[in-house]
Structure 1
């Protein structure tokens, strides 16, 4: 598998992770059947995609990138879907997460 394929799987993992997080919120503590099923399916698919990424990208880099990007994307979904507006300190923290993901991927030892 090429490095490009690995990054495409990383993007897929992030999308699946965000989907899982969003449906977990909608599942209301796993009391609603459909959102609960979607949450379970997407988290399993997400872990599969991450395992594919780790074939070419070190585990620490993979997970740091996945976690950071998933956090940012989940916040964006929260703003638009659940009207959850982050405060100033949250925005500063999110900016630091973005800086960290960029540092790990662009300046770190891959």
Structure 2
């Protein structure tokens, strides 16, 4: 797989991680059937895509980027969907995670 495709697959894996994290909230402890199914499917797809990206990308970089995408996406959707805090300190911390993701991408070998 080309490096560019590996990064795209990794990005999609991170989006799926956001999907299952938000799904956990809607599944309410896996007590609701369809949100639970969605959550489990997103978990599997996320890990499969991560594994595929790892065929090309370095483990430490890929894992950090994957969890970073999941953390940022989940935090932002938590604010939007669930009215979680949007204070400056929280947004600054999210910006730090984003800068770390971008930095890891920039210093990764092509």
**Are residues 1:43 and 2:43 paired?**
yes
Q: CA deviation at 1:56?
A: 0.7
**Where does 1:1-110 land on structure 2 (aligned, <5 Å)?**
1-108=1-108
1:108 to 1:3, Cα distance in 2 relative to 1, 3 A: closer
Q: 2:9–2:49: 8 Å Cα contact kept in structure 1?
A: yes
Q: CA deviation at 1:109?
A: 5.2
Query: 1:104, 1:2 → 2: CA distance?
Result: 18
Query: 1:95, 1:41 → 2: CA distance?
Result: 29
Query: 2:61, 2:107 → 1: CA distance?
Result: 11
User: Which stretch shows the higher mean deviation, 96-105 or 35-44?
Assistant: 96-105
Structure 2 unaligned residues grouped into runs of 5+:
none
Paired residues, number: 110
TM-score, structure 2 length as denominator? 0.90
Structure 1 unaligned residues grouped into runs of 5+:
none
TM-score, structure 1 length as denominator? 0.90
Superposed structure 1 runs of 4+ greater than 2 Å apart: 85-89, 107-110
